[in-house]
Homo-oligomer: A and B are copies of this chain.
Amino acid sequence: MNMVKPNFDKMNGLLPAVIQDYQTHEVLMLGFMNETAWEMTLSTGLATFYSRSRQELWVKGKTSGHRQIVREIRIDCDEDAVLLMVEQIGGAACHTGFRSCFYREVKDGSTRIIGIRVFDQKEVYRK
């Protein structure tokens, strides 16, 4: 048994977490977890982050319903980053309605949309 605890010290208490669709392997988003968010993710099985802009715990999908059910967790060689393979409820991780937050390609200094839009954000967040 190799007990593991990620290193939260490198980024002032925050751990970067890459979120990947467990079936398609599409990278959906990058979030940050503080220690509480990490422990909640483990205990609830729902991806939970620390919102740097709102400075609060953030159960992904709490408002939209688009939760992320954790299917597998991996940790990197330095133990300062994690990778979560998730089942994305609602089919979209991004608040803009795209499947992935990485829905734009960068080329020659400009961007173009290559992602798939699953929902209209006005519909999901209007309540």
A residues whose Cβ falls under 8 Å from a Cβ of B: 1-4, 10-11, 16, 18, 20, 24-27, 29-30, 42, 52, 72-78, 81-83, 94-96, 98, 101-107, 109-112, 114
Copies of the chain in the assembly: 2
Contacts of A98 in B (CB 8 A): 77
Given contacts A27-B20, A111-B2, contact A106 B77 (CB under 8 A): no
**How close is A28's CB to chain B, nearest CB, in angstroms?**
10
> What are 28 residue pairs bridging A and B, where the CB atoms are less than 8 Å apart in the complex?
A1-B110, A2-B111, A3-B109, A4-B106, A16-B30, A18-B18, A18-B27, A20-B27, A29-B76, A30-B76, A42-B109, A73-B105, A74-B103, A74-B105, A74-B106, A75-B102, A75-B106, A75-B111, A76-B101, A76-B102, A77-B94, A77-B95, A77-B98, A77-B103, A78-B101, A81-B101, A81-B102, A83-B102
